[in-house]
């Protein structure tokens, strides 16, 4: 079928961030906006003629319509085939697995992750490379360059494809294969974990609550946790994906998953609690009466990973994003394996995973994963926790308290100052950057600054350099404060303040994090002058 060439003009602001391009849904639905960006992806990766792509998303508003547009653009650009999740649905880790399983030329994942969905909320799109991971900077730079010079896009005139029926069909000359979004991913999980041990755990009366937050993980969690492993029916709640995530905010943290937190802190709490986000790549872990920070979860999983068959031979190494606490570093030291500190963004783990330098990696924003895919994976983390609980026959609280007794506790918190006027946020950040040379030796709130720096990263695999990745103020005694400008929002700017302090006193390992970090918080605010620059005297969200 001859493609239809549509004349267009470049649209400002189509620069992908750490997780693709995210904008308000209405922006993506604007004239030529999605078409321009998809064509720029195709042009930026050298074209898609004769290639195969995976396409799917988290089911948020505009997901199904956007897939129809993308399919016609792929056909117009000569793609050989696309593999699409039934009804347009694919979790981000499941999409990564399909790319790798089928050896495709990459994929397009439609999601704004943990951001709200709906006609007045957020939408996103990112390109993942043939290794299944998010495109690295050298690829996203080419895509962005293409968005600034685009003058036409190629599509075909055709009716919508049937996304609901499994099997193959044709769109012009291109083959469209509609696949079960859960089946291949479920098979992968069964190959990694001791399902028999987890089944026995549930058969013993073990209880759990998994909050899918009206998002994509619901069908996956129901099929694996309830139908396969034997968790009681109803263990998975909010399990049906909704275009607006049930009117909620699909971010698995104690603020947005408060109903789960309240249940887990109650007198009749289940043994284990978990939640996942909009596209299924993040997780929150809780036990009866305890919330586990993502940094602590990463460290615990690394320390006990050999409980699962896939990791029984030990770990090659671990990696964490720079703002993530150093708890996993001490695990790596004990195990005698490498530990890497990377910039924020899952794409920075890709080279390490591909090179076999690390087995497990994670970031403080509730993402953990391993070599099984090239994305973070919320349900994978939940299953690894269940495998560990089954093998150790311990509670979540006992596991964490024993871990802290053994390794010390990195008290940790993130304070988010959201929707700040962009100019004010950048002024705050730039002022701290300018002050870096003068900070060492200063004392604030009883803490003396040991060092101050702007984080940069040299990739040990390909030698690429990434500068300006966040500002670090380290204090004597191992405490630190990190300031970053987030790239995942769609309105204004978000300042993220990360706070950390190591405690090794056995009598001080079970305190309240905000109290334990009170001096670090005061020192950070005195140095960074967030209120003076932004007018905000308190964060919007504390996790």
pLDDT of residue 491: 60
Residues 76-85: tens digit of each pLDDT: 999 999 999 9
Residue 378 burial (C-beta neighbours within 10 Å; 0-12, 13-18, 19+): buried
Cα–Cα–Cα angle for 221, 226, 230, rounded to 5 degrees: 140
Residues 393 and 425 in one domain: no
pLDDT of residue 137: 87
pLDDT of residue 487: 54
3-state secondary structure of 151: coil
Residues 263 and 382 in one domain: yes
> DSSP secondary-structure letter at 159?
P
Domain boundary residue among 356, 387, 407? 407
CATH number at residue 447: 3.30.310.50
- CA 232 vs CA 226, 235, 241, 270, 380: distances in Å: 6, 6, 20, 11, 19
Helical pair 378-392 and 294-304, crossing angle rounded to 10 deg = 50
Domain of residue 169 covers 4-181
Residues 377 and 504 in one domain: no
CATH number at residue 287: 3.40.120.10
Q: Two tokens at 474?
A: 């380290």
Residues 478 and 381 in one domain: no
Determine the Cα–Cα distance for residues 363 and 295; give it in Å rounded to an integer: 7
pLDDT of residue 387: 98
For the question of whether the overall pTM of this predicted structure is more than 0.75, the answer is yes
Length, in residues, of the chain: 543
Residues 98 and 244 in one domain: no
> DSSP secondary-structure letter at 424?
H
Residues 232 and 356 in one domain: yes
Residues 207 and 336 in one domain: yes
Determine the Cα–Cα distance for residues 311 and 297; give it in Å rounded to an integer: 16
Residues 473-492: tens digit of each pLDDT: 999 999 999 999 875 555 67
Residues 488 and 510 in one domain: yes
Which parts of the chain have pLDDT scores under 70? 487-491
Residues 368 and 242 in one domain: yes
Residues 206 and 251 in one domain: yes
Q: Two tokens at 205?
A: 């009366």
As for how many domains the chain has, the answer is: 3
Contact predicate 308/381, CB 8 Å: no
Residues 298 and 332 in one domain: yes
Residues 318 and 438 in one domain: no
Domain boundary residue among 181, 205, 226? 181
Contact predicate 182/190, CB 8 Å: no
Residues taking part in catalysis: 113
> DSSP secondary-structure letter at 238?
S
Domain boundary residue among 390, 407, 424? 407
pLDDT of residue 482: 97
pLDDT of residue 345: 85
Biggest CA-to-CA distance, the chain: 73
Determine the Cα–Cα distance for residues 416 and 414; give it in Å rounded to an integer: 6
Spatial neighbors of 203 by CB under 8 A, at least 6 apart, are 230
pLDDT of residue 488: 52
């Amino acid at each position: 079928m001859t493609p239809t060439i549509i004349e267009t003009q470049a649209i400002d602001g189509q620069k992908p961030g750490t997780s693709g391009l995210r904008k308000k849904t209405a922006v993506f639905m604007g004239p030529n906006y999605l078409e321009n960006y998809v064509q720029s992806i195709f042009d930026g990766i050298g074209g898609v003629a004769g290639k195969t792509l995976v396409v799917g998303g988290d089911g948020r508003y505009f997901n199904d319509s956007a897939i129809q547009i993308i399919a016609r653009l792929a056909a117009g650009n000569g793609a050989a085939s696309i593999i699409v999740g039934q009804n347009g649905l694919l979790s981000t880790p499941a999409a990564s697995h399909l790319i790798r399983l089928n050896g495709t030329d990459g994929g397009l994942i439609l999601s704004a992750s943990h951001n709200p969905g709906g006609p007045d909320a957020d939408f996103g799109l990112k390109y993942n490379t043939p290794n299944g991971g998010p495109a690295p900077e050298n690829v996203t730079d080419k895509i962005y360059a293409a968005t600034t010079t685009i003058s036409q896009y190629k599509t075909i005139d055709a009716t919508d494809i049937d996304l609901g029926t499994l099997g193959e069909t044709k769109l012009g000359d291109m083959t469209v294969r509609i696949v079960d979004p859960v089946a291949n991913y479920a098979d992968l999980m069964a190959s990694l974990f001791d399902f028999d041990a987890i089944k026995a755990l549930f058969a013993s009366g073990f209880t759990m609550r998994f909050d899918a937050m009206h998002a994509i993980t619901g069908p996956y969690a129901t099929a694996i946790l309830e139908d396969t492993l034997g968790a009681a029916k109803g263990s998975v709640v909010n399990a049906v994906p909704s275009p607006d995530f049930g009117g909620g905010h699909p971010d698995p943290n104690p603020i947005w998953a408060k109903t789960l937190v309240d249940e887990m802190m109650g007198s009749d709490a289940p043994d284990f609690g978990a939640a996942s986000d909009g596209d299924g790549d993040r997780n929150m872990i809780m036990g009866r009466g305890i919330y586990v920070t993502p940094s602590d979860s990463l460290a615990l999983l690394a320390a006990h990973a050999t409980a699962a068959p896939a990791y029984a031979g030990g770990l090659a190494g671990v990696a964490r994003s720079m703002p993530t606490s150093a708890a996993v570093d001490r695990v790596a030291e004990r195990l005698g394996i490498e530990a890497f500190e990377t910039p924020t963004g899952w794409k920075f783990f890709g080279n390490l995973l591909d090179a076999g330098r690390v087995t497990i990696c994670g970031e403080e924003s509730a993402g953990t994963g391993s070599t099984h895919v090239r994305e973070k994976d919320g349900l994978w983390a939940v299953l690894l926790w269940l495998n560990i609980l089954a093998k150790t026959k311990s509670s979540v609280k006992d596991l964490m308290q024993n871990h802290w007794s053994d390794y010390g506790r990195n008290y940790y918190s993130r304070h988010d100052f959201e929707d700040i006027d962009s100019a004010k946020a950048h002024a705050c950040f730039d002022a701290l950057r300018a002050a870096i040379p003068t900070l060492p030796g200063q004392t604030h709130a009883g803490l003396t600054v040991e060092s101050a720096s702007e984080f940069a990263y040299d990739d040990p695999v390909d030698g690429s350099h990434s500068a300006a990745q966040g500002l670090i103020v380290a204090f004597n005694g191992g405490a630190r404060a990190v300031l970053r400008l987030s790239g995942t929002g769609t309105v204004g700017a978000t300042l993220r303040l990360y706070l950390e302090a190591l405690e090794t006193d056995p009598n001080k390992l079970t305190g309240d994090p905000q109290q334990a970090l009170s001096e670090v918080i005061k020192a950070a605010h005195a140095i960074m002058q967030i209120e003076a620059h932004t007018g905000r005297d308190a964060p919007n969200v504390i996790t």
